[in-house]
Chains A and B, each alone.
Chain A
């Protein structure tokens, strides 16, 4: 057990003080955790990740290219920003490609439960990637951000499909192989 009083006076580190090494303002535990999450990103064939600055991994872009479903041949960019409080707080994710989708709005806000109310530190970035991929395979009209898209999806799949195609063409999300 530790005994403060019995410890001899600490080596006075007057000389060392001139060194004045300032500590960075991120916790290393958070950095380590992020490095681990990032180096284990499970991108498969439908995702790719781009880092504008390899030395600043708190900001990156994930491209999602669904290979089946309504959004097949589309390419959608999501900007990830990792807060310094990660993994206590979830990453901030915005969709940077305009898309006609029940759960993504005009501003690129994404309605995915684990990005907000259901986030837990035990989840990893991969959980979010899976969630995004799933959104393109199975849009969820019960939790709409884009109501128009949700209603169309529910009421008229063919019209919805056409509208998606149109929007993908307009926004340049179409990605020809």
Chain B
């Protein structure tokens, strides 16, 4: 054992970062600095410590990333154990992020890994700002949209309007279902974002209400009847209690009612498992697909951080149902994407003493915006709605108010108008001039 510990562990990574090759990125330059950067500086956030998250942590740790944080709100459930290999029976009930981080730290010495048992929505911008890369293994569309927008929001522009690349944090996003999955690379404000092609995600299956109510034919119809129609009628667990798919009592109640209905209509196939699946919209998950998609995400992270090869541009589909098949393609950035649309917040300079009505008049006269009946909100608070009438009534009291009573300097206003396909963000700056200058 002549070899040193770290050198030995890093030997494969050194070899690939110290030599150039025809498939390397054009601006790749072989150097020891690359691994030093990975090893000492590059900070990665893994969002989600589930099926993908566990694999990701292991893959990133063994790809030379040594500063890793992981965030997840969940605790370990027994149904996780078939694929989330950092958890054991005795971990059931404990926070996933913490158990996962502890396991990685124990196995891989010298790693700097931190687990956050927390909600991603509750973290301040500064939390996300500290990372060089974010890798997400989430199953909820909502959380991915939020994360996507948060990273887009962090991108700053230089005075000349170009993007300040030092504020860009790439997002690598993976997802799986059965033997299918996808991996994608999002460079906020520079390539297609999650919101640009939200339609790539199929909507949830739902059944017509009248079928559920009157002509059930499938076991699913009976289960939906119990959860959508009977539950609100009978409120079996107290008024206002919503169906909780993780509460076995709730699932049992729905399963039993569904079974009664199925018996009444001679429909076969209502089971507890199916009931739970329909209520929770459970997606089947297998370990191998998670391994494949997470590994591919980690590979992209490594390429992004070192440029040993071109990072994926920008979407890879995986399908293992018949043979093994992948397809990489570029999704297009949408000019009018509500999250990363190319329009920057428009800077508007106003006097703090202007009234809201003055501001609206300025907006109406703006030749770039060309709005006719604008509606304005600031951090979800209504400033003024031109329509509908009831909101107009409720908000017109703001019109004669001076802006410094309504807004803070530098705040962002949402402007929507029938003439704007998506609405626009405005950033308000105060200047000293007391009169409205036309």
Contacts and interface: CB of A to CB of B under 8 A. Distances in A.
Interface residues of A, number: 66
Interface in A1-33: 1-11, 13, 16-17, 19-33
A36 to B, nearest CB: 4
A143 interface: yes
Contacts of A56: 380
B389 to A, nearest CB: 7
Given A10-B166, A35-B375, A36-B422, A29 B149 contact: yes
B391 A4 contact: no
A67 B227 CA distance: 36
A8 B41 CA distance: 10
Contacts, number: 197
A101 B84 CA distance: 50
Given A5-B34, A39-B416, A51-B394, A29 B338 contact: yes
Contacts of B240: none
Given A2-B168, A17-B126, A32-B422, A145 B210 contact: yes
B213 A5 contact: no
Interface residues of B, number: 79
A40 B170 CA distance: 35
Given A3-B27, A32-B423, A35-B375, A21 B381 contact: no
A135 to B, nearest CB: 12
B141 A85 contact: yes
A40 B418 contact: yes
B269 interface: no
A57 B378 CA distance: 13
Given A111-B208, A111-B210, A13 B422 contact: no
**Most B C-beta atoms less than 10 A away, residue of A8, A144, A145:** A145
Contacts of A32: 338, 414, 416, 422-423
Contacts of B391: 38-39, 49, 51, 54, 57
A21 B125 contact: yes
Interface stretch (A72-80, A112-120, A152-160, A168-176): A112-120
Contacts of A165: none
**Most B C-beta atoms less than 10 A away, residue of A1, A17, A109:** A1
A58 to B, nearest CB: 9
B201 A88 contact: yes
B165 A13 contact: no
A48 B133 contact: no
Contacts of A50: 390
Interface string B3-36: 0000000000000000000000001000001100
B191 to A, nearest CB: 9
Nearest to A109: B209
A55 to B, nearest CB: 5
B304 A25 contact: no
B76 to A, nearest CB: 24
Contacts of B305: 4-5
Nearest to B208: A117
A150 to B, nearest CB: 9
Contact of B142 (A8, A40, A85, A109): A85
B233 interface: yes
Interface in B368-391: 373, 375, 377, 379-382, 385-391
Contacts of A105: 213, 229
Contacts of B337: 29
Given A13-B130, A29-B339, A35-B377, A111 B213 contact: yes
A27 B152 CA distance: 12
B159 to A, nearest CB: 16
Given A23-B124, A116-B209, A35 B394 contact: no
User: Nearest 10 CB-CB pairs, A to B?
Assistant: A39-B375, A25-B121, A29-B338, A143-B210, A36-B416, A111-B210, A111-B209, A54-B394, A54-B382, A29-B339
14 contacts: A3-B27, A4-B133, A4-B304, A16-B126, A17-B126, A24-B380, A29-B145, A36-B423, A40-B418, A49-B388, A54-B391, A109-B228, A117-B208, A143-B208
Interface of A: 1-11, 13, 16-17, 19-33, 35-36, 38-41, 43, 48-51, 54-57, 84-85, 88-89, 103, 105, 107, 109-111, 113, 115-117, 119-122, 143-145, 147
